[in-house]
């Protein structure tokens, strides 16, 4: 691992689209948490660590742009709980219940690892005295669980919440030409959008904060 890090430190600023800091941190996390070091494993884990967070943010913003009333409500919560005189901080996230609900709903609709399998009732049944209709998702664990759970769950959720909060606090967002954002899913293990998200943004805070 020392050799890999030293080589990265002496190399170019960007390697395959990732900064040296991102690659060093991700590689260290992979090697210490899984004990695996093959190129294929590192490439796959980089995709699982880096892409889902950005993808979740993309889906969240897409959903909000298509539901402007929800977007406005989230901004009103930020104005009430944080204000417009300072940027939202990590310590503020726990007060933003509506924002947390938006992130949870985004993960429910567009889970970052859909190939991990969905627990769904295939037919009407009764479990422990409870009637479960066909098609009901009886369990939702987007980051898996137990020994195979995502090692970056806390960091990933923090980044999603804080980044989304700062975008909504700092900017008014609208769709391009007033057209709805397409919600077509693209191929990939992290469930990306088929087409890149485009939006029009306008500052909503005092210029001294930018």
Give me the domain span that covers residue 62.
Answer: 51-209
pLDDT in tens, 97-141: 999 999 999 998 998 766 555 667 888 988 888 898 998 876 656
80 plus 181 within the same structural domain: yes
62 plus 116 within the same structural domain: yes
pLDDT in tens, 54-81: 889 999 999 999 999 999 999 999 999 9
pLDDT of residue 52: 73
pLDDT of residue 139: 62
58 plus 12 within the same structural domain: no
CATH number of the domain that residue 133 is part of: 1.10.630.10
132 plus 73 within the same structural domain: yes
Q: Look over the chain and give the mean of its residue pLDDT values, rounded to a whole number.
A: 79
pLDDT of residue 201: 92
pLDDT of residue 210: 86
63 plus 104 within the same structural domain: yes
The whole model's pTM is what? 0.65
Q: What is the DSSP string of the chain?
A: -HHHHHHHHHS-SEETTEEHHHHHHHHHHHHHHH----HHHHHHHHHHHHHHHHHHHHHHHHHHHH-HHHHHHHHHHHHHHT-SSS---GGGGGG-HHHHHHHHHHHHHS-S-GGG--EE-SS-EEETTEEE-TT-EEE--TT--GGGS-TTHHHHHHHHHHHHHHHHHHEEEEEGGGPPPP-PBPSSTT--BSS---EEEEE-S-GGG-
In a domain, 12, yes or no: yes
33 plus 75 within the same structural domain: no
In a domain, 44, yes or no: no
In a domain, 21, yes or no: yes
In a domain, 46, yes or no: no
104 plus 3 within the same structural domain: no
pLDDT at 7 > cutoff 50: yes
pLDDT at 33 > cutoff 60: no
In a domain, 62, yes or no: yes
32 plus 125 within the same structural domain: no
131 plus 196 within the same structural domain: yes
The structural domain count of the chain equals 2
């Amino acid at each position: 691992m020392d050799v890999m890090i030293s080589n990265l430190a002496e190399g170019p600023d960007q390697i395959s689209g990732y900064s040296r800091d991102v690659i060093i941190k991700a590689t260290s996390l992979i090697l210490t948490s899984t004990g695996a070091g093959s190129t294929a494993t590192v490439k796959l884990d980089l995709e699982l660590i880096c892409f889902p967070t950005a993808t979740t943010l993309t889906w969240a913003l897409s959903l909000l742009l298509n539901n402007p009333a929800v977007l406005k409500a989230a901004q009103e919560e930020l104005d009430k709980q944080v204000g417009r005189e300072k940027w939202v901080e990590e310590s503020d996230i726990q007060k933003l219940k509506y924002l947390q609900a938006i992130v949870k709903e985004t993960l429910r609709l567009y889970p970052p690892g859909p190939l991990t399998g969905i627990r769904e009732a295939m037919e009407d049944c009764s479990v422990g005295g409870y009637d479960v209709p066909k098609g009901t998702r009886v369990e939702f664990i987007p980051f898996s669980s137990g020994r195979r759970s995502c090692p970056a769950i806390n960091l990933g959720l923090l980044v999603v919440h804080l980044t989304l909060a700062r975008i909504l606090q700092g900017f008014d967002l609208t769709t391009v030409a007033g057209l709805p954002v397409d919600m077509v899913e693209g191929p990939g293990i992290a469930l990306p959008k088929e087409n890149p998200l485009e939006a029009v943004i306008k500052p909503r805070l005092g210029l001294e904060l930018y």
